[in-house]
């Protein structure tokens, strides 16, 4: 029989908005910053884990397999098996899901599962023409040949390409992620005013959560090498309103698009971890579980409408567990774009879509906004791609405990036309 899998603890760094140049932390730095205090407060040794699994999308050259590098820096022992997973925006949740399956099937008892991303460290890359020129120069034999190769240089060969911009463009449809949000918004008639109002509310909710101390115990202070400290998500703009956001120009589809910098997720750096344990590990180390993972589901769809990934993954997850959207008391749906989130809500409430695409008898129903992203989301705190799936699970567990709710779903859209969802119950 499958064993129960418990979430017993977790922590994350503040999410730091990418500004000019690389931020103070690499992906592994971030993982270590929130991993150290998390492991230090546990009643067991760091080397008691069976695995370390870490989601990361933009791995930097100095940190190949960041899971292994982080595990070693966290003092988890040279014999600790650690590996990195990558499924774009779902990487942080994939780490939890992989750990969940290891423990459920009896192949592990405790796993440290996380996600990390330093988007500010995304590289600039040379165009292929520049790479070919450099290769010709490097392989030329003799001074005359090298001079001849050097004289073939053209200024355009040295024009850098922003790696992050290409990484956020789907290679099949050639649409960037913002354009896919525009497609979803168009399909369901989402207006610019609705998107801006949603974004302003995200900032208001996060600012409220910070002021009320709701993130205490979840967000760990990070300390950079130059002595500076970072203790909160710094992208929040409490003064945002629908009126001020309405002044921003569309970014991806000018002049009539709905998606702007103000109603999109922010480019940020951040890391998150959760500790998963079997019932045997809970008993052995006298742990107090916060929640149990009931089930998970991954789905795929047309990359041009990847924003509907939450609908395509969470719906079969609920159906398999004899639940409806009304049975879920707390939702975390990653806010890639306000238009995309609103598109998902509209899809669940659309009779034709639910009948023809989801195979339901009618509309799945309306999700109460008071149950959705209660403390804000990626629009206000940021979306470090490899981390967000982990953060929404961690925060879902903490929010459920604070609110006294029993059942929650964490779900997200994933670039490339995928979606992931996880069903959580409080214990």
Catalytically active residues, by annotation? 89, 383, 413
Does residue 342 sit in helix, strand or coil? Answer: helix
Residues 6+ apart with CB under 8 A from 188: 342, 343, 346, 347, 350
Decide: 398 and 217 in contact? Cβ < 8 Å: yes
| DSSP states of 167-215 | HTB-TTT--BHHHHHHHHHHHTT--HHHHHHHHHHHHHHHHHHHHHTTT
| DSSP states of 390-406 | HHHHHHHHHHHHHHT-S
Decide: 199 and 262 in contact? Cβ < 8 Å: yes
Q: Report the candidate in 333, 415, 381, 416 with the shortest Cα–Cα distance to residue 89.
A: 415
Q: What is the C-alpha separation between 293 and 376, in angstroms, rounded?
A: 23
Q: What is the C-alpha separation between 399 and 208, in angstroms, rounded?
A: 14
Q: What is the C-alpha separation between 331 and 210, in angstroms, rounded?
A: 19
Q: What is the C-alpha separation between 98 and 96, in angstroms, rounded?
A: 5
Q: What is the C-alpha separation between 249 and 310, in angstroms, rounded?
A: 27
Instruction: Centre a 10 Å sphere on the Cβ of residue 327 and count the other Cβ atoms it contains.
Output: 13
Q: What is the C-alpha separation between 225 and 273, in angstroms, rounded?
A: 22
Six-digit token string for 250: 């569309």
| DSSP states of 319-335 | HHTT--GGG-SEEEE--
Q: Report the candidate in 90, 93, 387 with the shortest Cα–Cα distance to residue 266.
A: 387
């Amino acid at each position: 029989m499958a064993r129960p899998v418990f979430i017993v603890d977790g922590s994350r760094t503040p999410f730091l908005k990418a500004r000019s140049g690389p931020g103070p932390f690499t992906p592994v730095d971030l993982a270590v910053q929130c991993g150290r205090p998390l492991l230090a407060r546990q009643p067991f040794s760091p080397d008691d884990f069976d695995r370390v699994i870490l989601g990361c999308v933009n791995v930097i050259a100095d940190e190949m397999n960041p899971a292994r590098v982080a595990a070693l820096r966290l003092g988890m022992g040279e014999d600790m098996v650690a590996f990195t997973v990558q499924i774009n925006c779902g990487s942080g949740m994939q780490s939890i899901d992989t750990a969940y399956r290891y423990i459920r099937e009896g192949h592990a008892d405790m796993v440290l599962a996380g996600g990390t991303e330093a988007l500010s460290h995304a590289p600039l890359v040379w165009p292929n023409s520049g790479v070919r020129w450099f290769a010709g120069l490097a392989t030329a034999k003799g001074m005359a040949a090298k001079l001849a190769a050097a004289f073939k240089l053209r200024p355009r060969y040295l024009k850098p390409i922003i790696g992050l911009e290409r990484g956020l463009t789907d290679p099949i449809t050639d649409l960037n992620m913002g354009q896919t949000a525009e497609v979803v918004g168009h399909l369901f008639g989402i207006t610019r005013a609705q998107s801006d109002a949603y974004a302003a509310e995200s900032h208001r909710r996060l600012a409220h959560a910070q002021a009320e101390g709701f993130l205490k115990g979840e967000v760990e202070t990070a300390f950079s090498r130059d002595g500076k400290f970072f203790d909160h998500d710094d992208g929040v703009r409490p003064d945002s309103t629908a009126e001020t956001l309405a002044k921003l120009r569309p970014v991806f589809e000018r002049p009539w698009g709905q998606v702007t910098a103000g109603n999109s997720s922010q480019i940020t750096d951040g890391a998150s971890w959760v500790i998963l344990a079997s019932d045997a590990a809970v008993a052995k180390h006298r742990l107090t579980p916060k929640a149990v993972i009931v089930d998970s589901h991954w789905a795929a769809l047309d990359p041009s409408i990847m924003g509907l990934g939450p609908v395509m993954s969470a719906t079969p997850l609920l159906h398999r567990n004899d639940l409806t959207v009304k049975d879920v008391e707390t939702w975390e749906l990653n806010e890639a774009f306000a238009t995309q989130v609103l598109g998902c809500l509209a899809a669940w409430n659309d009779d034709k879509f639910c009948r023809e695409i989801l195979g339901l008898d009618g509309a799945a129903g309306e999700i109460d906004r008071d149950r959705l992203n209660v403390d804000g989301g990626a629009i206000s705190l940021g979306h470090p791609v490899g981390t967000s799936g982990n953060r929404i699970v961690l925060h879902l567990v903490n929010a459920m405990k604070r609110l006294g709710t029993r059942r929650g779903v964490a779900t997200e859209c994933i670039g490339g036309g995928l979606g992931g969802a996880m069903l959580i119950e409080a214990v």
